[in-house]
Structure 1
Amino acid sequence: MKADRRTALGLGAAAIAVAGGGLAYALNHEAPLPPGALGGADMARGHRLRDGGFPAPSSEEEVDLVIAGGGVAGLSAGWRLTDAGFSNFKLLELEDAVGGNARCGRNAVSAYPLGAHYLPVANREAKALRHLLRQLGVIIGDADGVPVYDPVQLCADLQERLFWQGRWQEGLIPRTGLTRRDREDLAAFDAQMKRFSSYVGTDGKPAFAVPMAYSSQEPHLRALDGQSFAEWLDAQGWHSPVLRAHVRYAMRDDYGTEPQHVSAWAGIHYFAGRRGWAANGAGENELTWPEGNGRLVGQLAGFFPGKIARGHIVHRVTREGDRVLVDSFDVAANRTVRTRARAAILAMPHFIATRVCPELGDAKAFSYAPWLIANVTVDHLPGGRGVPLAWDNVSSTSDSLGYVVATHQGPAAISEKTVLTWYLPLSNMEPAAARRLLVERSADEWKRIVRDDLLALHPELDGAIGAIELWRWGHAMIRPTPGFLDRGTTHQPAPPLFLAHSDLSGLSLFEEAHYHGVRAAEGAMTLLRHAHESLL
């Protein structure tokens, strides 16, 4: 979520449609396609985990604590343990690279994200996150007790632009072509979101917080989770197509999900939950790097590099007395290793956790959004009528979410060559059908979709696209459908097992994964009687 997206954004009719697996090519789709690989999460390993048949353990090892999963939550757990001086742990990761959907790639032009690409300035309540950001040199001081952020790591101007009525304009709020009804509904919506943002419950907590665990538990607020965001908007009488397009964009941007499938609580949280606490007016900004949140996961892993075992498929987690047995298949050695531990943190999506640890029940109530990401290398910067190129560039005439510019930050911004990271959530299909489409549609077809979408905005890039690298996320993020507030709390196991993943929040945000990683690490250390001062 970017700062301007908390205010009104009107989007015109979509130029492309993914529903039903079809898409109209606006340009000549017979033109030669640029080179580029089709990548994604390791489906072969994932399917092997699904199908089972792993060999029995051929060796054993012992450790105080195992972390199963090397996404943001697992890495945050490892960071917290290391920060507290706890060293007898091991992290097992299925993939050859850690980071989950915050991973990144690199080519000769630039590093670039393969998913998550920014982190908003932290809320006051995000104490553990601020502690991390200070260690990483992102927060560099204080001004009258308020955090000061490194300006180099804050998003530089121009931050955002919108293609609207044939021109690029600064920001994501349309300024022309609005009806009286549009303006009235947009103003009423904005005023209501500001009221939600400033409201403090009788329990002394903000109505909507980040991390969401610090949100008020007042019943009338939690009751919002019983309906969809679209239903809530209907009840307010707000039917402006410009407002509805704005809401749709926002829900697809953060949740990969259409408004009619998003909980009203989660929808409002998008607009009312961010209150960045920073000096010099930086609270509305976000942190970003060429590789996106790949910068953060790389730094987290750097705190304990010798304790990470990549290419280990955790396929069975059971209890034995007061111990936990974790069986993992070492892909390189082609054997199963059994790790005996005093505690274990399952830092993995819930649909995987329930497969490897059946005592957790099932994950039928959890739903995941599929995405396609494309990193497009171009020989010169995009242009267009109106304001110049921004970090985030959104079109009102496309069903994609536009693109971010990898070289926007730092000295590389002056380079003519760049990488454009293009995003498409397949939200207007049932998730299972969208996952099949991700697999069945050929790389060439996806490349045509990406190329034609960019060339519809930027005809000047015709002949300048050097490569299109595709990345598929079948289970990119948890979908906060109605009723999600209770789902994460009903699946918590008894110690010495701990869960840590953004799934538990129902919001696939860095802050939520970090919170759950820290919470699980602190719970495990308390169980193991390791002295530490809580950051939560």
Structure 2
Amino acid sequence: MKADRRFVLGLGFGATTVAAAGGGLAYALGREAPLPGGALAGADMARGHRLRTGGFPAPDRFEEVDLVIAGGGVAGLSAGWRLTDAGFDRFRLLELEDQVGGNARSGRNPVSAYPLGAHYLPVANREAKALRHLLRQLGMITGDSEGIPVYDPEQLCADMQERLFWQGRWQEGLIPRTGITARDRRDLAAFEAAMSAFSKRIGADGKPAFALPMAYSSRDADLTALDTMSFAAWLDRQGWHSPVLRAHVRYAMRDDYGTEPREVSAWAGMHYFAARRGWAANGAGDNELAWPEGNARLTQRLAGFFPQRIAPGHIVHRVAREGEHILVDSFDVAAKSTTRTRARAAILALPHFIAARICDGIEGPAGFSYAPWLVANITVDRLPAGRGVPLAWDNVSSTSESLGYVVATHQGPDAITSATVLTWYLPLSDMPPAQARQLLVQRSADEWKRIVRDDLLGMHPELDGAIQSIELWRWGHAMIRPTPGFLWRGDTVEPGPPLFLAHSDLSGLSLFEEAHYRGVHAAERAMAMLGHAHESLL
């Protein structure tokens, strides 16, 4: 993520009432335009909720395997990739959904592929050795220049990367260029200097103050103490009250964490700004890898390393110890039967609230809370325009409560210039997560479509009549919320061999890099327990 991506405003209205910012043309003309087609979908709530209601049939099929991975999101797929890479093939991955990928899945229509959730991966830090190993295997890192990784330019986000709708015009980058007071400039400069210093700081333990993955971060006492307060409270202590600064911080926290600054740990807030130090040749370190389908490019490639070992449509509903072994019961949705798998070890690559529900001996989910999101993929028959600079990959409006949209056809061999899909994001951060989840379920597809349509037309009145469809995707538990006092809690809930946990919520940061690290870490610990020789990537 580029540094200037942090400097952006979110001066909108509540997510529960978000409507046409500046007034969509349909309302300006005093009429209700017909709503576009498109489905309201999301993670399979019926399957997920069945874990609460139970009633699964007794096992009628039995099998044995050395290792079971429960969960096919980024962490579970990364664990499977690491096992395969080390020559360990005696495992099986069970996934509740019909498709693997977690919140990094994608859809496709005749215009383009598009993301349903996570949509980019920043260039990897120097400390992210396992991730760089993967990117080399995928051909995304093509070589080295004087020991520094060289990335395939076709995988990097093309220009123009970002633009901001500010004071009635689109400007390049996400830092407001006009209408900023002297106080705003002072606070922004002081904040940027502070984050730059934290980014360069090396702790007394020889580690970066803020690293990615976070496991490589310094544990200096003054740094870990930042987790005891909110990011908003930390800003108060610095005396930085500029509304422009506060708005840009709010955007940032909602962007990566789906959470308001007053509810984000100050440590996590600083991590957003100070942890990314992409290590790449030719000045590409501040760029990101981006594809039409978003991070589904990565999850699909991960799954491609071991497709024959993946069993989708299997609800893991019971995990129990039996002497030195693990029993894993999974319900095959298609066959309507339960299989009991006896294994020597298991990796639970599941959100912690699910792992604790299905497995005795795992500490309950106290403190674990998850941010709900709505994602909309809007197919338009012509490209957005507007006054100012031309269309970018990432487009944000200072007047909207949404996080704006990314353009699926910004790059890639399947790009279509006359039509495109705009992936629009809204974290429901202005209310408690449980209430937001209720809203996701209770609000009708038509109501959500009006919100999405009117928000887009508020940015682009010229798109009136151009919207062909709005595909809605609900994420009830999209990402872990790094609230004050939560970070490093994941280190205290490990059940111990032969059970291993692997999920980004153990880090408190819902990032690809964290999920990948957790999956690799669990896989390497499991292989060590099972006596499979390997050289660690961590």
The equivalent residue for 2:296 is: 294
Match of 1:3 in 2: 3
Task: Name the CA distance, whole Å, in 2 between partners of 1:108 and 1:10.
Answer: 34
Aligned to 1:242: 244
Residue matched to 2:14:
17
1:56 positional shift: 1.0
Q: Distance in 1 between matches of 2:109 and 2:366?
A: 39
Residue of structure 1 in register with 2:215 after alignment: 213
Q: What one-letter code is carried by the residue in structure 1 that aligns with 2:8?
A: L
- CA–CA distance in structure 1, aligned partners of residues 408 and 8 of structure 2: 24
Q: Superposition pairs for residues 335-354 of structure 1, below 5 Å?
A: 335-354=337-356
Secondary structure, aligned partner of 1:469: strand
Pairs within 5 Å for 1:31-70: 31-70=33-72
Equivalence for 1:268:
270
8 A contact 2:18–2:401 mirrored in 1: no
Distance 2:534 2:18 in 1: 55
Match of 2:431 among 429, 432, 454: 429
Structure 1: state its 5+ residue gaps.
none
Tell me which amino acid in the other structure corresponds to 1:281. Answer: G
Match of 2:332 in 1: 330
Question: How far apart are 1:487 and its partner, in Å?
Answer: 1.3
The CA RMSD over aligned residues, in Å, is 1.0
1:458-469 correspondence to structure 2 within 5 Å: 458-469=460-471
Which whole-Å deviations, capped at 9, do the CAs of 1:7-45 have from their partners, x for residues lacking one?
x3344x31x422xx4344534372110000001000110
Which residue of the partner structure matches residue 493 of structure 2?
Answer: 491
Q: Secondary structure at the match of 1:80?
A: helix
Q: Quick one: which of 459, 463, 475 aligns to 1:457?
A: 459
- Over 3 Å counting, the alpha-carbon distance change for 1:24 and 1:131 in structure 2 is closer
Q: Distance in 2 between matches of 1:212 and 1:70?
A: 22
Secondary structure of 2:154's counterpart equals helix
Aligned to 1:112: 114
Residue 359 of structure 1 and its aligned partner are, at CA, apart by 1.1
* Equivalences for residues 71-90 of structure 1 within 5 A: 71-90=73-92
CA distance in 2, matches of 1:357, 1:220: 36
* Percent identical residues: 78
Mapped partners of 1:31, 1:102: distance in 2: 33
Contact kept in structure 2, 1:324 and 1:341, CA below 8 Å: yes
> Contact 1:3–1:285 at 8 Å: present in 2 too?
no
Tell whether the 8 Å contact from 2:8 to 2:398 is kept in structure 1 after alignment: no
Give 1:365 deviation, angstroms.
1.0
Q: TM-score, normalised by structure 2?
A: 0.98
Q: What is the DSSP-based 3-state SS (H/G/I as helix, E as strand, rest coil) of the residue aligned with 1:360? A: coil
What do the CA deviations read for 1:213-257 (whole angstroms, capped 9, x no partner)? 000011110000000000000000000000000000000000000
Where do residues 340-489 of structure 1 align in structure 2 (5 Å cutoff)?
Answer: 340-413=342-415, 415-489=417-491
More displaced stretch, 209-218 vs 403-412: 403-412
Q: Deviations over 1:175-214 (max 9, x none)?
A: 1101111000000000000000000011100000000000
> Aligned with 1:274: secondary structure?
coil
For 2:193, give the aligned amino acid. A
Whole-angstrom CA distance in 1 between matches of 2:165 and 2:105: 29
For 1:166 and 1:511, the matched residues in 2 are separated by 37
1:170 pairs with 2:172 = yes
CA distance in 2, matches of 1:252, 1:461: 27
Q: Using the TM superposition, give the Cα deviation of residue 99 of structure 1 relative to its aligned residue in structure 2, in angstroms.
A: 0.3
In 2, the alpha carbon distance for the partners of 1:474 and 1:485 equals 21
Following TM superposition, by how much is the alpha carbon of 1:50 offset from its aligned partner in structure 2, in angstroms?
1.5
Task: Report the TM-score, using the length of structure 1 for normalisation.
Answer: 0.98
CA contact (8 A) 2:210 2:271 kept: yes
Deviations 1:328-351 (A, max 9, x none): 001011011000000000001001
Tell me, what secondary structure is at the counterpart of 2:361? helix
Contact 1:38 1:470 in 2 (8 A): yes
Q: Which residue of 2 aligns with 1:182?
A: 184
Residue matched to 2:159? 157
Q: Distance in 2 between matches of 1:515 and 1:338?
A: 29
In the TM superposition, residue 412 of structure 1 has moved relative to its aligned partner by 4.0
> Which AA in structure 2 matches 1:17?
G
Code of the residue aligned with 2:260 in structure 1: it is E
The answer to whether the Cα contact below 8 Å between 1:346 and 1:497 also exists between their aligned partners in 2 is: yes
Is the 8 Å Cα contact of residues 76 and 517 (structure 1) preserved in structure 2?
A: yes
Partner SS for 2:131: helix
Q: Which amino acid aligns with 1:3?
A: A
Question: Following the alignment from structure 2 to structure 1, what is the Cα–Cα distance between the partners of residues 490 and 419?
Answer: 44
**Residues 23 and 275 (structure 1), Cα distance of their counterparts in 2 relative to 1, 3 Å cut:** closer
Distance 1:287 1:22 in 2: 33
Q: Report deviation, 1:5.
A: 2.1
CA distance in 2, matches of 1:30, 1:328: 48
Q: How far apart are the structure 1 equivalents of 2:213 and 2:172?
A: 30
Contact 1:117-1:293 within 8 A present in 2 as well: yes
Amino acid corresponding to residue 123 of structure 2 in structure 1: V
Query: Displacement, 1:411?
Result: 4.1
What letter corresponds to residue 194 of structure 1 in structure 2?
Answer: S
Q: CA deviation at 1:173?
A: 0.5
Task: Give the Cα separation in 2 of the matches to 1:234 and 1:415.
Answer: 46
1:119 and 1:23 map into 2 onto residues whose CA distance is: 28
Structure 1 Cα separation of the partners of residues 360 and 483 of structure 2? 24
1:414 offset after TM fit, Å? 5.1
Q: How many residues align?
A: 531
SS at match of 1:86: coil
**Residues 100 and 299, structure 2, Cα contact 8 Å, conserved in 1:** yes
- Secondary structure at the aligned position of 1:407 is classed as helix
In the other structure, the counterpart of 1:278 is: 280
In structure 2, relative to structure 1, the CA distance for the partners of 1:401 and 1:24 (3 Å cut) is closer
Find runs of 4+ consecutive structure 1 residues off by over 2 angstroms: 8-11, 21-30, 410-414
Point out where structure 2 has 5 or more consecutive residues left out of the alignment.
none
Tell me, in whole angstroms, the C-alpha distance in 2 between the residues paired with 1:534 and 1:425: 37
**Any idea what the Cα deviations from partners look like across 1:113-168, whole Å, max 9, x if unmatched?**
00000000000000000000000000000000000000000000000000000000
